[in-house]
Amino acid sequence: MGSSSFFAILLSFFIIFQLSYSIPFIVLHGIGDQCSNKGVKQFTELLRNFSNSEGYCISWRRNMGFLVYSNEGTGRNCLQQGVEAVKEMEELRGGYNIVGLSQGNLIGRGVVEFCDGGPPVKNFVSLAGPHAGTASVPLCGSGIFCIIADNLIKSPIYSDYVQTHLAPSGYLKLPNDIRKYLEKCRFLPKLNNELPDERNSTYKERFTSLENLVLIKFEQDTVLIPKETSWFGYYPDGAFQPILPPQQTKLYTEDWIGLKTLDEAGRVKYISVGGNHLGISHNDMKRYVVPYLEEKASAEVITRYPSSSSSHGMHT
């Protein structure tokens, strides 16, 4: 073997190694959950194993789950925790993917849209995210925090006190009270750029920087009302029917956050799976989540650098 052939083969192996490197992902959990809980731990571990990518669950303080979501109407206090967490992780410096679970999707979107200086987010995979809001406060469960939350739910949902202390009130969107929602709801109207006098082009610019946005809706979801909010679908202002598909909402047609821009570029995937809220099967995880956590560029290297042994280990 000549020296030129040897170096060509060495170079091809080097490039294959570089391009087949998978960037890490983070998991952002939902209401009342924690990274230490069995379900979240198992979910994160399965994604690691299925994708062969490094993954991390990002924890939020307990009172940032169901209680105390936003600060001064921006949500920045909670979201700043996420930005600081990813900034401090050396493993994420080159970019990372987000896998959001329920309310965790709104935290993830807030990190993307609101906050400066973090590493770039490549792919955003959303499972059962209340992106367009929800018309009913999700169930909390049991325990002292949920007892407090249940009492708060009985209060006027758009009051300053509830908006300050009950996380889901920040994305509760009652179609028959849109005026008060826009005036008093402290988080989602900003996240979705709904306020006519406060629309921020930077939010749209950052959101449209995503390479892929994967929106997974659960067919039997009884937590999100309506379940189509997982795709940014929702009720029209002033009525609880019909349920509008995302493409018929003003958020989409007027492109407030860049969803239309992403969709027309072929970077939005609308996925529907069986099951109740977050009840995703292993097969659906492998089919709809894992491909966006894997590096798929190594096949391109084999095409560009053919050799007599290039067929070994090829994948279709």
Considering 102, 126, 169, 298, which one is annotated as catalytic? 102
Q: Are 89 and 184 in contact (CB under 8 A)?
A: no
Considering 12, 29, 70, 221, which one is annotated as catalytic? 221
Q: Is the dihedral of CA 64, 67, 71, 73 positive or negative?
A: positive
Length of the chain: 316
CA dihedral 109, 113, 114, 118 (to 10 degrees): 90
277 is catalytic: yes
Q: Are 159 and 166 in contact (CB under 8 A)?
A: no
CA angle (215, 219, 221) in 5-degree steps: 90
**DSSP β-bridge partners for residue 172:** 134
Distance CA 247, CA 129 (A): 17
**DSSP β-bridge partners for residue 271:** 216
Considering 29, 165, 277, 298, which one is annotated as catalytic? 277
221 is catalytic: yes
Q: Are 213 and 270 in contact (CB under 8 A)?
A: no
Q: Is the dihedral of CA 240, 244, 245, 248 positive or negative?
A: negative
102 is catalytic: yes
**Which 8-state DSSP code applies to residue 67?**
B
Tokens 């050396």, residue located: 90
Which residues are annotated as catalytic?
102, 221, 277
